Amino acid sequence: MWLFRRTILGLVLGLAACGFTPVYGPDGAGRTLQNQVVFAAPDERNAQLLMQQLEARLGRAQNASYSLEVALDLTQEGLAIDADGNTTRYNMLGVAAYTLTGAADGAVMASGTVRNFTGYSATGTTVATLASERDAEKRLMNILADMIAERLVGAVQ
């Protein structure tokens, strides 16, 4: 137990010595984007879910300094097939390409692509399968939005 406490203390002191500041602390990089990003209007359900999560992470801008555009690409692939040839499990793959630009001059501040996946089961009724698919889409949009927010905070320091 003594060694564990000493290790934690060493890590804390080491981070303090290297100039570590919390991202959402008083002078952290997360404050730069907080309530400063306006999002392009979503045109479909998944884009709306993504923007909701991004707003939860970055806040809603009144007078935006930045503009964010995201292009989504979702695909599904079957994973498990039963003896009758029915697919019983799917992977939902998501790719989101994002571009953060300055609202005043249109200069690109950050851009990139994030990828991730979620899975869902297709066993049971049609309604249960549809509910599983929608839940997987929502989870995937949350994951992609969190990844985008992390990258943006890292890029705009």
Residue range 39-97, pLDDT digits in tens: 888 999 999 999 999 999 998 888 888 999 999 999 999 888 888 888 889 999 999 99
Strands of the 66-81 sheet, one edge to the other: 37-39, 66-81, 87-102, 108-121
Q: Which two tokens stand for residue 39?
A: 């999002």
pLDDT recorded at residue 147: 97
pLDDT recorded at residue 130: 93
Estimate to the nearest angstrom the gap between the alpha carbon of 118 and the chain centroid: 13
CA distance 33 to 26: 13
Cα Rg of the chain (Å, integer): 20
pLDDT recorded at residue 11: 63
Residue 86 backbone phi and psi in degrees, to 5: -90, 135
Instruction: Answer with the residue of higher pLDDT: 24 or 102.
Output: 102
CA distance 156 to 24: 13
Tens of pLDDT, residues 99-127? 999 988 889 999 999 999 999 999 888 99
Counted residue by residue, the chain has a size of 157
pTM for this structure?
A: 0.81
Tens of pLDDT, residues 2-21? 556 667 756 665 655 566 56
